[in-house]
Chains A and B, each alone.
Chain A
Amino acid sequence: QQQVKQSPQSLIVQKEGISIINCAYENTAFDYFPWYQQFPGKGPALLIAIRPDVSEKKEGRFTISFNKSAKQFSLHIMDSQPGDSATYFCAASVGNAGNMLTFGGGTRLMVKP
């Protein structure tokens, strides 16, 4: 059972455009929602994370929007750059389960120059 569903699977955005990746979850016990970024040939690395007590978190060009009632969260990349081309994974975990994460299926982002 896929507990975190991610869309789209792939995304092409023009340079300086906005990239938007969406995730939906089923388990209402989830209380930590990170996004990981993976470049080819590398392991995933934490990009930004949010907890459900806030509806938005921004770090530089990256913003997470969180909708608890809809059980959805999304990653927005403003002013997308070719260097942002990578695979992005959303994830979720339950706090009292330590740091065990359930990952979404991933989105391959390509930013065209």
Chain B
Amino acid sequence: DARVTQTPRDKVTEMGQEVTMRCQPILGHNTVFWYRQTMMQGLELLAYFRNRAPLDDSGMPKDRFSAEMPDATLATLKIQPSEPRDSAVYFCASGPTGAKYNEQFFGPGTRLTVL
């Protein structure tokens, strides 16, 4: 049963610390998305990769957030320095290409709390 995995599942950190979240997309999927979910803002797209190349990161605060895909099996989202307003659930999703309309498969999320 293929699924997207994310680590860690929960992270509590103090303001100013670096946070790294990891995602393993489904094998064979070559699009990867990072979302942030909060009660106030709902699901916000932070970054979007296709074939490991960043296509859209306009939703991401550039001064403190960075997203990369070191290889096809790993996507990372880093926050440095973290701030209390970054507290949210961060989801990674992956999707196949080849069809015009494609489902996004979401991971279980990383719940981040910045104190």
Residues of A within 8 A of B (CB): 32, 34, 41-46, 49, 51, 89, 93, 95-96, 98-101, 103-106
Contacts and interface: CB of A to CB of B under 8 A. Distances in A.
A99 B106 contact: no
A30 to B, nearest CB: 11
Contact of B42 (A34, A93, A100, A106): A106
Looking at B4, B45, B104, B107, which has the most chain A CB atoms within 10 Å of its CB? B104
Contacts of A98: 31, 50, 95, 97, 102
Contact of B43 (A32, A34, A45, A89): A89
Interface of B: 4, 31, 33, 42-43, 45, 48, 50, 55-56, 91, 93, 95, 97, 100-109
B91 A99 contact: no
Given A103-B42, A106-B42, A49 B93 contact: no
20 contacts: A42-B108, A43-B93, A43-B107, A43-B109, A44-B91, A46-B103, A89-B42, A89-B43, A95-B100, A96-B100, A98-B31, A99-B31, A99-B97, A99-B101, A99-B102, A99-B103, A99-B104, A100-B56, A105-B42, A106-B43
Contacts of A46: 103-104
A43 B108 contact: yes
A44 B48 CA distance: 17
B91 A93 contact: no
B25 to A, nearest CB: 13
B101 A49 contact: yes
Contacts of A43: 4, 91, 93, 106-109
B95 A99 contact: yes
Contacts of B95: 98-99
Contacts of B108: 41-43
